[in-house]
Structure 1
Amino acid sequence: MSFKEEKMLIMPAVDIKNGKCVQLVQGKPGTEQVIIDNPEKVAKKWEDEGAEIIHVIDLDGALETKDNLNTIKKILKEVNIPIQLGGGIRSIEYAEKLLNLDIERLIIGTMAIEKPNTIKKLSEDFGSERIMVSLDSKDSKVVIKGWKEKIDKKATDISREFQEAGAGSILFTNVDVEGLLSGFDIQPAIDLVNSVDIPIVYSGGITTLEDLKKITTTGVKGVVIGSALYKNKINLIDALKLQSK
């Protein structure tokens, strides 16, 4: 699914850990506030409520403990809308395997930072629209390996490099506010949007419909919503009404 000029896509998050749909606080294991069996049924629920794309993260993969490939396959079988997937994609071979499963868009973080040439190869082989680079920010610095390791660069320092390497879009996660349901600062999103010519998707701290209205002013082309949906702070149907305005 291509990003559309006229609207910002709202992307419900389905984060998977141990084969279950969970929501963590700032990505830290042990902080599960939501645990739901059958992630594929959760994804189907969001589709039934009108979502046009589902944002799936393999948390076990991101933390390099194992992968949830069987659960990912169940989600692909259950829903008819596109899936964008990230978490634990540390090799070209695994990336190719996922893209050949008909994952619409693959989100690559750690591998993109450590091996930038992989972005060029994957975008050439599968098309740039299917390759999204994840730039996750904590204390204004990019973090990798499940947000456990920090590098001494800001997202805006390296965003242009990934555009030039062939990435079709960038996912920006503000780890400082992820899962806290406490709102967020729009300036980092604005700065990133202004640094590149490819679509930016924002994640982190979206808690209310007012937050959604605020993020639409930044120029991002998509927004991921997780905890706020699962804790009934935001109703997806109401949120989707804002998507087309």
Structure 2
Amino acid sequence: MKIYPAVDILDGRCVQLIQGNRATATDYGDPVIRAIRWLDEGADALHIVNLDGAFGAAEANASVIKDILSETGAEVQLGGGIRSTGDAAGWLEIGVDRVILGTLATKEPDCIRELADEFGSKRIMAGVDAKDGQVVVRGWEEPAGDYIEWAQRFEALGAGSLLFTNVNVEGLQQGIDPEPVRRLVAGTRLPVIASGGVTTPADVRTLADIGVSGIVLGSALYGGKITLQEALEAGKEK
């Protein structure tokens, strides 16, 4: 199971939010330095979120993200502010390994097929941000339908993987809720990367038992609740 440390970027800085609320941002410094640190500690992939893009400024942080790509050469999956197939194609063309399509995938589902046909399914990840069993979009405020049904639709359209974020527990550092993840893994044949609530090595082992292909570590990693080494070791145990 692969561990993806999160590098969330807001106003050019590495931050962590609670429940996606911009007002809760905690600053963790230069995103490039943070990315290099996680790789030095054993990670071999990064989960980057352009938070300014998610909040409406799609071009924000482009230079910082390009610096991470050029400085690290690491596997990178990127989400945030991808509002069109052109946005997605632009990131893929400069070296991002996978783009994460969230709101765009629910509003224009055929974008998945279009991008998968051009770049290959493995480079197209559909975001399944779920709250109380519903996919939520536009800042996690707008429900858009059953998350399992959406996941199955994304699979049929040609997505190569799914990023599942449990909005109910995201950023709270209080542990995971395994049941929604278990339902999703059982409901699709696609690899699932789980995000939201991962706080302890036991959480990592539980997700490994469920069968996810990877996890994203964010608030608990930055807050010291779990170290990257602990997560890597727990992921290897299964």
1:73-109 Cα distance to aligned partner (Å, 9 max, x none):
1111221211100001001111111000110111000
1:204 matched residue in structure 2: 196
Q: Does 1:214 align with 2:189?
A: no
Partners of 1:225 and 1:138 in 2: CA distance: 19
1:99 matched residue in structure 2: 92
TM-superposed deviation, 1:64: 1.0
Q: Does 1:133 align with 2:126?
A: yes
SS across alignment from 2:24: coil
Q: Does 1:195 align with 2:193?
A: no
SS across alignment from 2:21: coil
Which one is further off, 100-109 or 66-75? 66-75
1:5 matched residue in structure 2: none
CA RMSD, Structure 1 to Structure 2 (Å): 1.0
Which runs of no fewer than 5 residues in structure 2 stay unpaired?
A: none
The 5 Å alignment of 1:1-245 reads 8-32=1-25, 34-66=26-58, 67-151=60-144, 153-245=145-237
TM-superposed deviation, 1:165: 0.6
Give structure 1 regions of 4+ aligned residues with deviation exceeding 6 angstroms: none
Structure 2 length-normalised TM: 0.96
Which runs of no fewer than 5 residues in structure 1 stay unpaired?
A: 1-7
SS across alignment from 1:42: helix
Structure 1 length-normalised TM: 0.94
Q: Say whether the 8 Å CA contact 1:15–1:58 is kept in structure 2.
A: yes
TM-superposed deviation, 1:54: 0.2
Q: Say whether the 8 Å CA contact 2:204–2:235 is kept in structure 1.
A: no
Q: Say whether the 8 Å CA contact 1:177–1:205 is kept in structure 2.
A: yes
Partners of 2:8 and 2:103 in 1: CA distance: 18
Partners of 1:117 and 1:100 in 2: CA distance: 20
1:152-211 Cα distance to aligned partner (Å, 9 max, x none):
x12102111111111000000001111100112101001101111110010000111111
Aligned AA (2:137): I
The number of aligned residues is 236
TM-superposed deviation, 1:217: 1.3
SS across alignment from 1:51: coil
Aligned AA (2:50): D
SS across alignment from 1:13: strand
SS across alignment from 2:22: coil
Partners of 2:2 and 2:75 in 1: CA distance: 12
Give aligned-pair identity as a percent: 44
Q: Say whether the 8 Å CA contact 1:41–1:78 is kept in structure 2.
A: no
Partners of 2:96 and 2:62 in 1: CA distance: 12
Aligned AA (2:232): L
Partners of 1:210 and 1:193 in 2: CA distance: 19
Q: Say whether the 8 Å CA contact 1:12–1:54 is kept in structure 2.
A: yes
